[in-house]
Amino acid sequence: MDVLEFAVTGTHIWYYYCCKREVWLMLHQVNPDEDDANMDLGRFLHEITYARDRSKEITLGNIRLDIVRQEKDGMVIGEVKKSSKYITSARMQLAFYLLELKGRGIEARGELLFPKEKKKEEVILTADIEQELAETTAAIRKLATETRPPQAKKIALCRNCAYKEFCWA
């Protein structure tokens, strides 16, 4: 794959912090099991939670923002997740969205939302996070050029992964 052929997305960022093999599979158009129960749960949560705010969901270039709202102190971008278990991945995905907006001249702060846990966390874009995202994006582009996926490694995420049959069958 030519590294210039695709735009890195928030989904790539999220999965990069969980499983680099899964990112490789996505980049090479290997589709997950669309009937996987966890994918269904994710879609369901996406549709029913924060319904009032979701009316403001937007797609801008290569990013899709779950929630966009204006508050007194500025714009807030919300990202809804079913669990805080993979908090680093979620933070970096939301920070990626904030960086993409900043590149378009839009300043915002982020809010991770975990409806099942009734929890939220603020995410602010810092220079250190921007640097890490630049490195992560470069690593994802490099993964796209690889002809073989990274070696499969059993991790906790494998149990609920829609690619598990591909890796462990």
CATH number, span 10-168: 3.90.320.10
CA distances from 50 to 113, 118, 128, 141 (A): 9, 12, 30, 33
The sign of the torsion formed by the CA atoms of 154, 158, 159, 163 equals negative
**pLDDT of amino acid 54:** 45
| CB contact at 8 A, 34 and 109 | no
Domain ranges of the chain: 10-168
pLDDT above 70 coverage of the chain, percent: 80
pLDDT digits (tens, 9 = 90+) for 137-147: 999 999 999 99
Distance CA 83, CA 45 (A): 11
pLDDT above 90 coverage of the chain, percent: 50
**pLDDT of amino acid 120:** 94
**pLDDT of amino acid 119:** 94
Q: How many helices and strands in the chain, by DSSP H and E?
A: 7, 6
Query: Token pair of 164, please?
Result: 């598990």
State the pTM of this model.
Answer: 0.82
